[in-house]
């Protein structure tokens, strides 16, 4: 396993964010990544991204158009397969609204000797909170954040999110890609737990060298996203037969239910969705069971 700009394949999952996507691709090119080592997974088949090849000079850019919206979980899984088939050693993952800041890759390459070891599975550039602290993530049946000062220290953690994360091909070969049936949310935590089951190491570099616009969080959490958060967390606990995770899910859901009753709009709709999500998790129903676009347009396609 070699770690260099020539052995990294980059995957960017996008859905109707052309402006953010262009910024992200330009930032990735600025790290020295080769154009033909970049895969854009386009989840909107009606959004033609071919203009990118002329717009920013990416003649060799790989654009893969999904026939349906497979969301972030499906997009990253598809991208992982593409990089593996290309024979590259690492896959660097980004959402279309997150991108590396100048010096990001260089800061990771400083730890080549550690990251090239066989059981080094993932390394993540940490996101920052509103106070400018780096966010480390650990697992206690749920995501448990820890906030530390920005530094260049490579720190072992339990969890990472995929935006700005490098994953070794060794890990993907051994445990497969992330699970596309999560559709959206929780798939990253599931992947980290599976990696740790196989004794792979997970690192976070808390230097703040990643920009995250958080475009999907503008206006708060929509009801359809709450459905996937509720369903996937419970299913993860049931699938792993983890009483700790199920208990953490229950406590979390009670808190969110209280918040809905106290502060949220569309109380009845949100509570109905949470009940449906719980029922689906108990039945093992997975995949895209609620279409975000149709739901946002007023079509309540609850199955």
Domains of the chain, by residue range, sit at: 5-216, 219-296
Lookup: tokens for 247: 């208990």
How far apart CA 281 and CA 252 sit, in angstroms, is 16
- Whole-prediction pTM value? 0.94
Decide: residue 101, CB within 10 A, 0-12 exposed, 13-18 middle, 19+ buried: middle
At residue 265, the pLDDT reads: 86
pLDDT of 212-251, one tens digit each?
887 655 556 788 999 999 999 999 999 999 999 999 999 9
Question: pLDDT per residue over 62-112, tens digit each?
Answer: 999 999 999 999 999 999 999 999 999 999 999 999 999 999 999 999 999
Rounded CA gap, 243 and 259, in Å? 24
Hey, what are 85's tokens? Answer: 């088939």
Q: Give me the mean pLDDT over the 181-198 stretch.
A: 97
For residues 196-214, average pLDDT: 94
260-303 residue pLDDT tens = 999 888 898 889 999 999 999 999 999 999 988 877 766 555 55
Q: What is the C-alpha to C-alpha distance for residues 274 and 197, in angstroms, rounded to an integer?
A: 30
Tokens encoding 262: 């106290």
Residue 141, pLDDT > 80, answer yes
Q: What tokens does 69 get?
A: 């919206």
With a CB cutoff of 8 Å and minimum separation 6, the contacts of 273 are: 223, 224, 226, 227, 230, 290, 302
- What pLDDT was estimated at residue 43? 94
**Architecture of the domain spanning 5-216:** Alpha-Beta Complex (3.90)
Length of the chain: 303
Q: Is a pLDDT exceeding 90 seen at residue 54?
A: no
């Amino acid at each position: 396993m070699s770690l260099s700009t020539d052995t990294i394949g980059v995957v960017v999952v996008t859905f109707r964010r052309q402006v953010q996507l262009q910024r992200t691709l330009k930032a990735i090119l600025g790290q020295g990544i080769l154009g033909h080592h970049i895969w854009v997974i386009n989840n909107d088949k009606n959004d033609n991204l071919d203009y990118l090849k002329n717009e920013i000079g990416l003649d060799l850019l790989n654009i893969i158009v999904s026939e349906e919206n497979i969301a972030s979980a499906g997009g990253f899984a598809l991208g992982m397969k593409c990089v593996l088939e290309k024979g590259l050693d690492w896959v660097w993952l980004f959402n279309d609204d997150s991108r590396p800041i100048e010096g990001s890759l260089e800061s990771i390459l400083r730890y080549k000797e550690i990251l090239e070891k066989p059981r080094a599975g993932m390394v993540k550039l940490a996101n920052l909170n509103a106070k400018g602290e780096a966010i480390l993530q650990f697992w206690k049946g749920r995501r448990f954040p820890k906030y530390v000062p920005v530094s260049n220290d490579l720190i072992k953690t339990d969890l990472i999110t995929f935006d700005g994360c490098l994953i070794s091909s060794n890990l993907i070969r051994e445990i497969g890609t992330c699970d596309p049936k999560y559709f959206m949310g929780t798939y990253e935590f599931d992947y980290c737990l599976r990696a740790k089951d196989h004794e792979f190491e997970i690192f976070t570099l808390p230097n703040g060298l990643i920009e995250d616009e958080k475009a999907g969080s503008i206006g708060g959490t929509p009801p359809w996203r709450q459905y996937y958060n509720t369903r996937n967390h419970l299913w993860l606990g049931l699938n792993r037969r983890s009483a700790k995770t199920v208990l953490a899910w229950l406590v979390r859901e009670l808190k969110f239910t209280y918040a809905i009753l106290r502060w949220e709009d569309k109380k009845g709709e949100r509570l109905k969705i949470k009940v449906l999500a719980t029922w689906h998790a108990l039945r093992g129903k997975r995949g895209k069971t609620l279409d975000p676009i149709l739901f946002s347009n007023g079509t309540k396609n609850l199955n």
